[in-house]
Structure 1
Amino acid sequence: MIMLNMVFKTGQMFKILLLCFLTFKAVEGVQITTNVSTKVDAAVHLIHTADIMNYTTDVNKYNLDLSGITSLVFKIKSCSDAHVLLSSSGVRNSSEPLYEIYIGYHNNESYITYCEDNPPAYGSNNSIVFSTENILNCTVYLPFWVSWSDKDIKLGTGKFVGDNVLGNLTITHNFEVKSIGVFTDHLRLGNWIIQLEVSDKFAGYFDSCIMNNTKSDMVVVDDINCSKMSCGASCGMSKTCMGYNFNSAINRCELLWFVSDVVTDIPHHTEAGWRFYSKCFNRKSACLGCYF
């Protein structure tokens, strides 16, 4: 793992800035997917289950920095009773303030609940229920989204946040979501495909993920001759670049981007002399190339 910490001459800096300007393209945010299966053999609900986060599956297996995100897009295949828990606690502490989005209670109704503490004291929770008959399907993945900005927690259907709102709960106090968990109860099997946004808070680190003699097959946005440090600096200064291939024998640098803005894989192949380096986020703990 390497850290960028260097001083450039004026000409070198100008060349790197020009390179970044030429290769930069507008990026709304990279989304990576995580697949989980859930099944709880009991009836679990925020307002009467004190340790509810213990029943959830943490969707953040990539250890991304979730602070600042205000929405979640996912698909689910389940007959009924799907829950999304949004916690103010980074360690999934059930006693801290929570939002619960309960989709398809017996496949007839859905709830959005805000709870200041758990188990809730009198008056410390707020909830809304709305009719959503046959909202889930036992055999087909259906798309949903939830959002929690501007003191408004919303549930909707489709791939785009803001479309087809099913219901919303307006609250007096909102909080920053730091962890997210999902589950299905009442013995219902749930299969989830969840998209998480990659923060643009590049930590300044690259990790080779022990990928000696390995070349990534991501999109090459630029191909240059330079040192490894210059290659890393060029990638680090561009939001477009998510990693690079480098060949030290010929000082060849390939700056890389994903095929699309939704990432399910980082393809690579064996090639002598090359090494793939992945950008790291959330300090050194979320180096995306090492997870695929």
Structure 2
Amino acid sequence: MYGGLLERMNMVNMVFRTDQWFKILLLCLLTCKTGGVYITTNESTQVYGVVESWHKPNIMNYTIDINRYNLDLSGITSLLFKIKACDSAHVLLSTSDVRNSSKPLYEIIMGYFSDSSYIIYRAGSTHDTWFSIPNILNCTVYLPFWISWASGDIKLGTGVVVGENILGNFKNTTHFEVRSIGVFTDRGTLGNWTIRVEVSDKFAGYFDSCSMSNTKSDVVVVDDIKCSGIRCATSCGMSQTCMGFNFNSVMNRCELLSFGSNDVTDIPHHTEADWRFYSKCYNGKTACLGCY
């Protein structure tokens, strides 16, 4: 028991490095939590013509993928968003992480021809439930909604608390795991969305510089220390609140970074000589929050 513990503790100082990424060989880091960080994305959508999954085999081609950071969505079961649109707002939940329209999907339509809303399940054939809610959307005001899909019970509701103010639901006995989410507005309607997605709580043990030399991130600096790159990466990896670090290889200066709040709308950068920003990565090496 103690031999295994000492072995894991000694691994703290073992770090492999290339020009673009650090990998920390520290087993306990694989379960460190981010502290409930959410990425908030703003999108505008406008598709001309009538588009819905009843008649469009390639429906995912019309959507904007909300997952700009390539997060692992398979672990989440709800979505919070606000939308400003006159009508015809669509949210698609797909089992395909490459947005393959032939894979099973759910489509939630709000304000279809103004007063009808639908929850659709498509897997070869389509099944749906309909509910009439006049004036569900607003042309000039952002309105809050939530969608949940735990255990195949697909629900649409209003407000910012998942489970409250349910507008309609659809029970799917052949439940699937949602891996990608897309949104759009059709019939020429302009839709403005603010969408909140939870970040996976598992740090993969990687830091990626996103191939951006001479770059610093402008988020909150929680600690500024003089040390090696190895120690800088290890210090950030052992912190639940650290999302990445700026490192200056000339001065051996390390800035540990935090989002500063639970909601992140952007990760700003600026150019500065000899600095390099390294983002903490989740979902293997594919979801690094500073890379886009």
TM-score, length basis structure 2: 0.83
Q: 1:34 aligns with which of 6, 16, 41?
A: 41
Q: Report SS of the residue matched to 1:231.
A: helix
Q: Does 1:176 align with 2:177?
A: yes
**Alpha-carbon distance between aligned partners in 2 of 1:195 and 1:227, rounded to the nearest angstrom:** 36
Contact 1:4 1:229 in 2 (8 A): no
What does residue 253 of structure 1 align with?
254
Identity of aligned residues (%): 65
Moved more, 42-51 or 257-266: 42-51
**Alpha-carbon distance between aligned partners in 1 of 2:61 and 2:267, rounded to the nearest angstrom:** 31
**Alpha-carbon distance between aligned partners in 1 of 2:233 and 2:211, rounded to the nearest angstrom:** 17
What does residue 4 of structure 1 align with?
23
Q: Report SS of the residue matched to 1:4.
A: strand
Q: Please report how far the alpha carbon of residue 78 of structure 1 lies from its aligned counterpart in structure 2 after TM superposition.
A: 1.0
Q: Report SS of the residue matched to 1:54.
A: helix
Q: Does 1:64 align with 2:71?
A: yes
Moved more, 146-155 or 55-64: 55-64
Q: Please report how far the alpha carbon of residue 281 of structure 1 lies from its aligned counterpart in structure 2 after TM superposition.
A: 2.6
Contact 1:107 1:134 in 2 (8 A): yes
What does residue 101 of structure 2 align with?
94
What does residue 238 of structure 2 align with?
237
Instruction: Call closer, same or farther: CA 1:187–1:26 in 2, change over 3 Å.
Output: closer
- 1:27 is aligned with what amino acid? G
**Superposed CA offset, 1:220-250 (max 9, x none):** 3334443211211121233311001223344
**Alpha-carbon distance between aligned partners in 1 of 2:222 and 2:104, rounded to the nearest angstrom:** 43
**Alpha-carbon distance between aligned partners in 2 of 1:89 and 1:272, rounded to the nearest angstrom:** 41
Q: Please report how far the alpha carbon of residue 177 of structure 1 lies from its aligned counterpart in structure 2 after TM superposition.
A: 0.6
**Superposed CA offset, 1:26-50 (max 9, x none):** 812x221223222222222222322
Q: 1:107 aligns with which of 114, 137, 141?
A: 114
For residues 145-164 of structure 1, the aligned pairs below 5 Å read 145-164=146-165
What does residue 10 of structure 2 align with?
none
- 2:159 is aligned with what amino acid? G
Q: Please report how far the alpha carbon of residue 170 of structure 1 lies from its aligned counterpart in structure 2 after TM superposition.
A: 1.6
What does residue 207 of structure 1 align with?
208
Instruction: Call closer, same or farther: CA 1:271–1:181 in 2, change over 3 Å.
Output: closer
**Alpha-carbon distance between aligned partners in 2 of 1:4 and 1:223, rounded to the nearest angstrom:** 21
**Alpha-carbon distance between aligned partners in 2 of 1:77 and 1:191, rounded to the nearest angstrom:** 5
Q: Report SS of the residue matched to 1:53.
A: helix
- 2:87 is aligned with what amino acid? S
Moved more, 245-254 or 104-113: 245-254
Q: Does 1:43 align with 2:50?
A: yes
Moved more, 244-253 or 36-45: 244-253
Q: Does 1:53 align with 2:56?
A: no
Moved more, 127-136 or 197-206: 197-206
- 2:106 is aligned with what amino acid? Y
Q: Please report how far the alpha carbon of residue 200 of structure 1 lies from its aligned counterpart in structure 2 after TM superposition.
A: 2.4
TM-score, length basis structure 1: 0.83
Contact 1:155 1:165 in 2 (8 A): yes
What does residue 21 of structure 1 align with?
none
**Superposed CA offset, 1:47-99 (max 9, x none):** 23222222222222322222211111112111101111111112222222111
Instruction: Call closer, same or farther: CA 1:237–1:158 in 2, change over 3 Å.
Output: same
For residues 182-193 of structure 1, the aligned pairs below 5 Å read 182-193=183-194
Q: Please report how far the alpha carbon of residue 212 of structure 1 lies from its aligned counterpart in structure 2 after TM superposition.
A: 4.3
**Alpha-carbon distance between aligned partners in 1 of 2:66 and 2:218, rounded to the nearest angstrom:** 27
**Alpha-carbon distance between aligned partners in 2 of 1:272 and 1:50, rounded to the nearest angstrom:** 50
Deviation beyond 6 Å, 4+ runs, structure 1:
none
Q: Please report how far the alpha carbon of residue 146 of structure 1 lies from its aligned counterpart in structure 2 after TM superposition.
A: 0.7
- 1:39 is aligned with what amino acid? Q
Runs (5+) with no aligned partner, structure 2? 1-19
- 1:161 is aligned with what amino acid? V
How many residues are matched?
271
**Alpha-carbon distance between aligned partners in 2 of 1:25 and 1:90, rounded to the nearest angstrom:** 23
Contact 1:4 1:233 in 2 (8 A): no
Contact 2:21 2:278 in 1 (8 A): no
- 1:46 is aligned with what amino acid? S
